[in-house]
A and B are shown apart, each in its own frame.
Chain A
């Protein structure tokens, strides 16, 4: 590679920075979705690169399902403070209380209930754009999504009627009540994200690294024992050395048995992995079109 050539991470970085600046320039009230997970941690570094020495010109938004890993929320709050960014948290619990989100009878998962909570936050703050950390390599429905993904006034995605996206010219126009979801990491893979975390020396929540945890075996996965997910009667509980590969809610995130306790170890582990990242997420396995259906309804 000559000196006037970018390597893959530099290429992905400049593409993402360009997208972030388009958002800042074209939208009146954008927000950046920040969960404290590895993808949104990378997004925040990209925001620093796009906007420093100025402040990041948009608030951070997180939808708290009430089922988050405590380590994640702690990291989220600390990182927002370090960056001097404004963090807005809206809770599924409160949305249920107000009748904005209504659980189905017997429904324990908060996954679906994030949707109305998120859309209510969009309405409350009149956000016209949300930047998210979704990647096209995660899942088949995401693989078809644009960088600038239009949402109608109901927050819905229409996969058959997406705006053509040509060169690096993004059509950011929305009418009142509509909004845009923008995904600067669209072209990044799981490996790219970890390589970027390594290159940028970014901190990540401790649950990504190997630790001891009590787990129960359900549907072919090791789920972490917690107050929300106590062992059933006579269900065997195992103390395992595990880490998370992808973070969802604490009641549905499969723990991976792993000795990886550094970013280098994680990169080596992913390189040798035989299953994809979302292979450990129960929410995606529900049906062949699980993600497509959630996205159409306004999911992240």
Chain B
């Protein structure tokens, strides 16, 4: 694997498209042409080619790992792949294109910086293309690549490329904004415009796919504007050997937004207690400041009651707080969602109970228009719902912060994860009645 001795960034991406659009082949090609494949992997490919492929090596076999997939020639779950170039490291989630597997696409894409939506140049835009593009927008993926594949089968026609691009651009403005959208004509099977620029597309001036992945600007993908620290674990040493630690009481967690600074005034929500950060403790020493998504242990100036699930925030850009919530969800379970059902609700580091009090709308995936008051949401439906939570939740709108604006619903009894939820922006910021410990 190409290696560079200096630290590099990680780019997380996912690939999606309809069955047979060539997703797995594209990933295989990226790995193969960037010299990230090893001899034993190639040997294993050759072995399976002899057994099942009539002797022809199939790059898709690199990612289609499970026996059932090879037998049926499909990808049934998210597969993660890793490769590196001297410029970046990449984590790829290969997400399947079947209608019934939207939940896996949501799983693969939720943490991504960038989504690649594959389009078969012969088929053009399908319902799956629209659905995947919509989902990428819904999930707030900042960067989008539309890879128009199998260009060799349409004689590298610029007209065909432009036709597909125009059709996609005509519905992209209806979706929430991407930071950037790139259209790339390619052939995953033959390697055109994947790692190296193709001789067959002289009319295309843009970069090959890999060049784009190596250079797209991701430094501002995290929210650094408003400090958010969901308390994950209260850190209190038992019988510390070091007497200095007798009074140590730290709040451990991962910063979900913004920057923490030593000495900064903070509020603990939902209680509304106000104090200051005395120390940002880490295993590697005390820090003057820490930022999203670093993990740290905060020691506060006053000994106040704080526990898992509380949210520590800065004084500016306060979040919302409430128990009546409004959200878009992707329903992922076979049993349809009907209003009135009760679930576990997990948001940041806390779990509460929730009742779905109303189904406002279901998104029509052909038009992206809301259909009001559906009787239920079926598997892979996107809908807008209202929820009543068993306790007040401190949150941001998903479009402001993916970490404090997201939640999952868990079915009681089976413990299945049944929905991914994205909260609407709060109608007003929390107005805590300060209990000011600094006075």
Contacts and interface: CB of A to CB of B under 8 A. Distances in A.
B427 interface: no
B248 interface: yes
A105 to B, nearest CB: 26
B175 interface: no
B1 A7 contact: no
Interface stretch (B81-89, B180-188, B312-320, B384-392): B81-89
A219 B252 CA distance: 50
Contact of A288 (B9, B51, B63, B349): B51
A160 B252 CA distance: 35
B9 A143 contact: no
Interface residues of A, number: 66
A49 B348 CA distance: 20
Nearest to A267: B3
Contacts of B375: none
A164 B107 contact: yes
Contacts of B106: 164, 166
Counting chain B CB atoms within 10 Å of each CB, which of A140, A160, A162 scores highest? A140
B295 interface: yes
Nearest to B90: A8
Contacts of B89: 8, 189, 192
A108 B252 CA distance: 47
Contact of B406 (A24, A169, A279): A169
A169 B408 contact: yes
Contact of A21 (B252, B283, B348): B252
Query: In the complex, which range does the number of interface residues on chain B fall in?
Result: 35 or more
A186 B416 CA distance: 21
Interface stretch (A10-18, A96-104, A112-120, A124-132): A10-18
A159 interface: yes
Contacts of A24: 233
A270 B4 CA distance: 12
A199 B67 CA distance: 38
Interface stretch (A35-43, A51-59, A65-73, A206-214): A51-59
B76 to A, nearest CB: 6
Contacts of A189: 1, 82, 84, 89
Interface in A13-39: 13-15, 17-18, 21-22, 24-25
Nearest to B61: A140
B76 A7 contact: no
Contact of A6 (B78, B283, B293, B347): B293
A7 B403 contact: no
A144 interface: yes
B78 A144 contact: yes
B154 interface: no
Given A141-B66, A144-B78, A191-B3, A167 B406 contact: yes
A271 B3 contact: yes
B3 A167 contact: no
A169 B111 contact: no
Contacts of A9: 7
A141 B295 CA distance: 30
Contacts of A275: 38-40
A143 B420 contact: no
Interface in B261-308: 281-284, 291, 293-295, 308
Given A159-B77, A289-B67, A14 B293 contact: yes
Interface string A272-291: 01111011000000001100
B153 interface: no
Contacts of B8: 7-8
B9 A1 contact: yes
B68 interface: yes
Contact of A54 (B237, B308, B402): B237
B123 interface: no
Interface string A184-199: 0011010110000000
Nearest to A14: B295
5 contacts: A4-B291, A51-B233, A267-B3, A278-B40, A292-B66
Interface of B: 1-3, 7-10, 38-41, 44, 47-48, 51, 63, 65-68, 70, 76-82, 84, 89, 91, 103-104, 106-107, 110-111, 219, 224, 232-233, 235-238, 240, 242, 245, 248, 250, 252-254, 259, 281-284, 291, 293-295, 308, 332, 344, 346-349, 402-403, 406-408, 410, 415-417, 420
Given A8-B10, A55-B237, A136-B80, 12 more contacts: A9-B7, A14-B293, A22-B232, A53-B242, A53-B281, A54-B235, A160-B68, A167-B402, A189-B89, A288-B48, A292-B66, A292-B67
Closest 7 CB pairs of A and B: A140-B65, A7-B7, A271-B3, A279-B40, A173-B415, A17-B295, A49-B283
